[in-house]
Copies of this chain bind each other. A is one copy, B any other.
């Protein structure tokens, strides 16, 4: 889909290179439509992949998730891989051998480091908090203590590659004249109607942006 060069050797896709898109715009679009990244790290017990919330700016991905604290909170940085995938459809070919899925995914590899500077951490927390639906400015301000207790990782967006599959199944010549059905079952993720917590007693109205996403896909928000 693109002739733009891969940003690094390990980011070059060895298979399906025709589906590889390196354009920055596409990478950012896929990240913006996502809600969690699956983050992989090597541990003494082997690889571990955990879901984490994220946000971004133009240069970096910011990751947050309690579960990863004990993995990534120490040392000068860890090589990680953060992958964001959207499933758009099941692709049913004339033979199961050519079944596929329509999807959009981004793979980012690089060194994740802990953000130490409190102001920088606060800025990254706002980016993560507002990534899916903006709510940073609607709640009680994050205190210095909250901020100290929170671990945020940053990694460069430099080694990011996108891979996209869309459209109909691709079958073999010999199968095209056969009787078998071929097509796509679409898959979509949508937000529902926001509801207040059972113990909510506050005076604030529900911020309008929470209701505004109802019925929308993460892409449309």
A-to-B contact residues, CB < 8 Å:
10, 13-16, 35-36, 38-43, 45-51, 53, 66-67, 69-70, 79-83, 85, 87, 89-90, 92-97, 99, 101, 103, 105, 107, 109, 125-126, 129, 132-133, 135-136, 138-143, 146, 149-150, 163, 168-169, 175-207, 210, 213
With contacts A40-B40, A85-B38, A201-B176 taken as known, whether A107 is within 8 angstroms of B139 at the C-beta atoms is: no
**B38, B163, B184: which contacts A195 (Cβ < 8 A)?**
B184
User: Distance in Å from the Cβ of A174 to the closest Cβ of chain B?
Assistant: 9
> Are the CB atoms of A109 and B181 closer together than 8 Å?
no
Chain B residues lying within 8 Å of A169, measured Cβ to Cβ, are 197
> Are the CB atoms of A41 and B47 closer together than 8 Å?
yes
Rounded to whole angstroms, the CA-CA distance of A81 and B47 in the bound complex is 6
Rounded to whole angstroms, the CA-CA distance of A49 and B81 in the bound complex is 6
> Are the CB atoms of A196 and B180 closer together than 8 Å?
no
Known: A87-B189, A139-B180, A168-B199. 18 other contacts (CB 8 A): A10-B46, A35-B87, A36-B103, A40-B47, A49-B49, A50-B107, A90-B132, A139-B181, A176-B199, A179-B203, A181-B200, A182-B196, A183-B194, A183-B210, A186-B191, A186-B193, A188-B190, A188-B191
Chain B residues lying within 8 Å of A205, measured Cβ to Cβ, are 181
Rounded to whole angstroms, the CA-CA distance of A149 and B80 in the bound complex is 31
With contacts A38-B38, A67-B16, A201-B176 taken as known, whether A92 is within 8 angstroms of B210 at the C-beta atoms is: yes
Chain B residues lying within 8 Å of A176, measured Cβ to Cβ, are 199, 201
> Are the CB atoms of A51 and B146 closer together than 8 Å?
no
With contacts A180-B140, A188-B190 taken as known, whether A15 is within 8 angstroms of B97 at the C-beta atoms is: no
> Are the CB atoms of B133 and A79 closer together than 8 Å?
no
Chain B residues lying within 8 Å of A92, measured Cβ to Cβ, are 133, 135, 138-139, 194, 210
Top 8 closest A-B pairs, CB basis?
A: A186-B192, A40-B40, A38-B38, A46-B79, A40-B49, A168-B197, A95-B140, A97-B146
